[in-house]
Structure 1
Amino acid sequence: MHIGIDVGGTNTDAVLMSGSQVLAAVKTSTTDDITSGIVSALEELQRKRGFEPADVRAVMIGTTHFINALVEARRLAPTAALRLGLPATTSLPPMTDWPDRLVQAIRGRHYLCHGGHEFDGRHIAELDEHEVRRAAADMAEHGVRSVAISSVFSPVNAEFEERAAELLQAELPGIAVSLSHEIGRIGLLERENATIINASLRELATHIVDGLARSVAKAGIQAPLYLSQNDGTLMDVDFARRYPVATFASGPTNSMRGAALLSGLETCAVVDIGGTTSDIGILQRGFPREATTEVSVADIRTNFRMPDVLSIGIGGGSKVRREPQEVTIGPDSVGSALTQRALVFGGDTLTATDIAVAAGRANVGDASLVAHLDKELIHAALTRIAADVADLVERMHTTAAPLPLVAVGGGSILLPEQIAGCDGVHRPDHYAVANAVGAAIAQVGGEVDRVFPTPPGQRESVLDAAKQEAVERAVAAGATPGSVSVVECEEVPLPYLPGNAARIRVRAVGDLSLED
């Protein structure tokens, strides 16, 4: 058996599974400290379907801790950015495009030093170790506790980033170091931004991961703990301490993966309606379609792995208002206070959940408390929700043929059986906890994304080498060797570069190895 948990802004969901079968599922309110909400969810799961903690082989958690900390600009470590690229890259120093409040929140400092590579691995300039040591001295003087190192074209050759890390750790024992070639893709500024974000979260990551581990241990479970990543795969706790940025989109990703299993559809649109927001994405071969362009996180441009997801402020806790010309839904929400503030629970706020109960689509709370709502208001609110969701699905769709739409999340009761432009609306069993199901079934992945020279007649061998490297990375991350397969291979020729260069991106995934 294994347990999947997903911590959302409103609810914490948990499922007990055996293989792909859901044995029990619970939904509890997310608490302010989040970890106590996980303890409550595990206790409720035990009450619903008694199990021996020793029989649990793994616990998988999707969490919003880190993205929330960045958005709210709190609990971030004093961070410095060290870029290796002089004499180039001086026109746009690190954090140029960052919001001032976030630069201040991390007490951001930056340093430019000589180094960097061309696309084919040639040096722009030799690494100046004295410059790095001077930067380290200044970091110590200003209380920097975490540093992000980026070097031009480091995904091609990481030698300067790795050497700079050695120098900094020798000068500043105990400092947390994040290397850009391990986090982002080709594209210096976006990769550097992702690395700075990661560095600012390193201290929080240690605190949070240790807290999650204590929550699981409190339930008597001694099984390994894993966290969900943005691409639908897993990372162990040591990896999570080093790369907290990899969890940012785990919520919507888990929901889409869970929707694929529960519905049996591997290619479809998925809408996950929670208590606060609705997330819409496209599944391809059972995995979320990845964003192919830069992704903005808290108004910062990045280029690490993220699913292609659009969000809208419509959820079960969204406030409903009757304006002079129309009925509006959200974007503000009562969030985790739904059971105190919604009308059906004796509160004083009209929410989307009240509309669903009044329409007969949900049976929660006391329906008599919304019996006074007029039918025109109910119809207008439900029509508005369906129209807004249909608009997002249309924006995500890339072909003329309609896709089936799988509706998951507790708030999916707000949707009708048909949505314009969709080939039916599917609401599978356990739809309300699809996010926890997605966490529980997550696999282990490995990825390669860099520029390769492809000499004439050697294209296939270069592709094979990239695929093998991706498979090896998946196995190293904990996948069972015989289960790993390549799920994505993308080759983009770069004719403006010499040497028949091509950017090759390969992703491989496999089942988590749970050997005793």
Structure 2
Amino acid sequence: MTNYRLGIDVGGTHTDAVILDEAYRVIASVKATTTVDVSKGIYSAMRQVVEKSGVPVSDIRHAMLGTTHCTNAIVERKRLNQVAIIRIGAPATLAIKPLVGVPDDLREILGKHTHIVRGGHEFDGREIAELDEEKIRAIGRELNGQVDSVAITSVFSPVSAVHEERAAEIIREEMGPDVALSLSSEIGSVGLLERENATILNAAIVNVARSTADGFVKALEQEGIHAEIFFGQNDGTLMSVEYTVKYPILTIACGPTNSLRGAAYLTDRPDALVVDVGGTTTDVGVLVDSFPRQSSLAVEIGGVRTNFRMPDIAAIGLGGGTIIRLEDDGSFQIGPQSVGHRLNEEGLIFGGDTLTATDVAAALGVIELGDRNKVAHLDRSLLEAVYARMVEMVEETIDKMKTSADPVPVMLVGGGGILFPTRLKGASEVIRPENAGVANAIGSAISQVSGQVEKIFLIDEMGREAALEEAKRLASEEAAKAGADAESLVIVDLEEVPLSYLPGNATRIRAKAAGDLAMNKQPAIR
């Protein structure tokens, strides 16, 4: 029996789907319109690609989904869990309450059950105060039936997670095993408020992740596909359904990372810049050893400042559906508004009445698409100026993402990649691989499974080598939990950052392990 893979990636404009064989060759690919109800677009793309491939559904053994469901839920403030927030840090952290700096509308939704209890640790692992177990037990009894998700954050839990873990045990005892718990030590890094925010957001989207996973399983079953399901996460790897429901925040920004992984596979270039041109935005990222470079800065999600790991992506408001406004005085404006998935209806070359970036490229003969006669009346010199500025916007973004002045290889992928030339300033070469339009879905389908840990170790107590080995072991354990084959695991990233302001020769170590899908697991049937 051949083992086929189904990969689906949801973008703002298109939902792309591919089917790959055991050698990762593309058997079929489709681009379907992303619908207002994201799930409908997913199901449509899945049906189309299965039909187009002619592959027996019984031979599709793995299904991978890169989705925007969780991102949309936070941005739109919809379908969020009833959340309780427990911060372990009194009396040290009473001055600043949870959700400070979070937009008012989101704070109103998430801040109804907020508690600060005694406990937490110093930066060197010493207790600030003993954990107030009775208070946590009382909170658990009070919350029973009021909330379905609890975010637990303790001061310096990346150094010592003892209080968070004990609090979780107590909450489970009082609220039952079905309550969804999010522990900050498992999600964010050092920095209490940002880590707490990330944990609260994770707790808020558990139900969205669960319903998305269940819906995907049911849709597959309706097509007769009984496959093991994985979700894309934002470091360019995959995670199991169970892991996704526990850490749904890791799905945020998985789309650009899927494109980077797909580009690396299609070109066999492990180190390069990737320019992913969609219908609404162009995302530029950096490949390092075939994986996306991670951002070292705090990031905002839906207006909330967080510090959990995210890919280093620069996005600009330029895509195939970007609206171009021409003024009577010869000036023009490019975006950032876009017609998005309505390009085929609203673009001039398709009979619509809106000038888009795609129309400009078609009018100048850069691409052969639609009816060029519908843009023949436009001033060619003005369109050339618009197009030159479009190219310049991409070149400027490439330059921002480079770490040196030297030219670097650039890969053009995404449905809108055809709009741009194969010569760009700052690029040693521009590669537009076959199947570049569905690189994101390919990246979803070919990805490995990973696990990552980021902890502070006291080198004086355990020694550097022992600390590194412990970080590697913990990362490998996380990867195995996420669905990786333990025997295929390798460490793909290891970073040490000495923390000179902490005692005990403290060092923050980040380790990531990645491996192939565990093939001995049964397909997820629910």
TM-score (norm 2): 0.94
The aligned residue for residue 74 of structure 2 is 70
Three-state SS of the structure 2 residue aligned to 1:353 is helix
Kept in 1, the 8 Å contact 2:317–2:335? The answer is yes
Query: Within 5 A, what are the aligned runs for 1:340-359?
Result: 340-359=345-364
Unaligned runs of 5+ in 1: none
Distance in 1, Cα, partners of 2:208 & 2:46: 23
The aligned residue for residue 119 of structure 1 is 123
Three-state SS of the structure 2 residue aligned to 1:315 is coil
Query: Within 5 A, what are the aligned runs for 1:97-496?
Result: 97-139=101-143, 143-173=146-176, 174-323=178-327, 324=329, 326-455=331-460, 458-496=463-501
Distance in 1, Cα, partners of 2:386 & 2:337: 15
Kept in 2, the 8 Å contact 1:85–1:113? The answer is yes
Q: How far is the alpha carbon of 1:369 from its aligned partner?
A: 2.1
Structure 1 residue identity aligned to 2:387: L
Distance in 2, Cα, partners of 1:457 & 1:298: 40
Give per-residue Cα distances to partners, 1:398-420, cap 9 Å, x unaligned.
11212111111011122122222
Kept in 2, the 8 Å contact 1:35–1:215? The answer is no
Kept in 1, the 8 Å contact 2:232–2:239? The answer is yes
Distance in 1, Cα, partners of 2:470 & 2:182: 27
The aligned residue for residue 36 of structure 1 is 40
Are positions 1:5 and 2:24 aligned together? Answer: no
Three-state SS of the structure 2 residue aligned to 1:512 is coil
Of 499, 503, 507, which aligns to 2:504? 499
Q: How far is the alpha carbon of 1:105 from its aligned partner?
A: 3.1
Distance in 2, Cα, partners of 1:51 & 1:22: 12
Q: How far is the alpha carbon of 1:469 from its aligned partner?
A: 2.6
Are positions 1:83 and 2:115 aligned together? Answer: no
Distance in 2, Cα, partners of 1:49 & 1:76: 37
Give per-residue Cα distances to partners, 1:309-350, cap 9 Å, x unaligned.
111111111111113453222111111111111112211111
Give per-residue Cα distances to partners, 1:280-301, cap 9 Å, x unaligned.
1111111000001211112211
Quick one: percent identity of the two aligned structures?
Answer: 48
Kept in 2, the 8 Å contact 1:74–1:105? The answer is no
Kept in 2, the 8 Å contact 1:57–1:514? The answer is no
Structure 2 residue identity aligned to 1:147: V
Distance in 2, Cα, partners of 1:17 & 1:40: 18
Unaligned runs of 5+ in 2: 522-526
Three-state SS of the structure 2 residue aligned to 1:376 is helix
Kept in 1, the 8 Å contact 2:490–2:513? The answer is yes
Structure 2 residue identity aligned to 1:5: I
Structure 1 residue identity aligned to 2:452: E
Distance in 2, Cα, partners of 1:496 & 1:374: 62
Kept in 2, the 8 Å contact 1:78–1:106? The answer is yes
Distance in 2, Cα, partners of 1:177 & 1:469: 20
Kept in 1, the 8 Å contact 2:30–2:48? The answer is yes
More displaced 10-residue stretch of structure 1: 331-340 or 473-482? 473-482
Kept in 2, the 8 Å contact 1:148–1:199? The answer is yes
Q: How far is the alpha carbon of 1:85 from its aligned partner?
A: 0.9
TM-score (norm 1): 0.96
Kept in 1, the 8 Å contact 2:50–2:57? The answer is no
Three-state SS of the structure 2 residue aligned to 1:235 is strand
Three-state SS of the structure 2 residue aligned to 1:490 is strand
Structure 2 residue identity aligned to 1:466: A
Q: How far is the alpha carbon of 1:138 from its aligned partner?
A: 4.8
Structure 1 residue identity aligned to 2:206: R
Give per-residue Cα distances to partners, 1:367-395, cap 9 Å, x unaligned.
33223232123212211111111111111
Q: How far is the alpha carbon of 1:162 from its aligned partner?
A: 1.9
When the two structures are aligned, how many residues end up with a matched partner?
515
Distance in 2, Cα, partners of 1:439 & 1:167: 38
Q: How far is the alpha carbon of 1:366 from its aligned partner?
A: 2.5
Three-state SS of the structure 1 residue aligned to 2:460 is coil
Distance in 2, Cα, partners of 1:457 & 1:203: 40
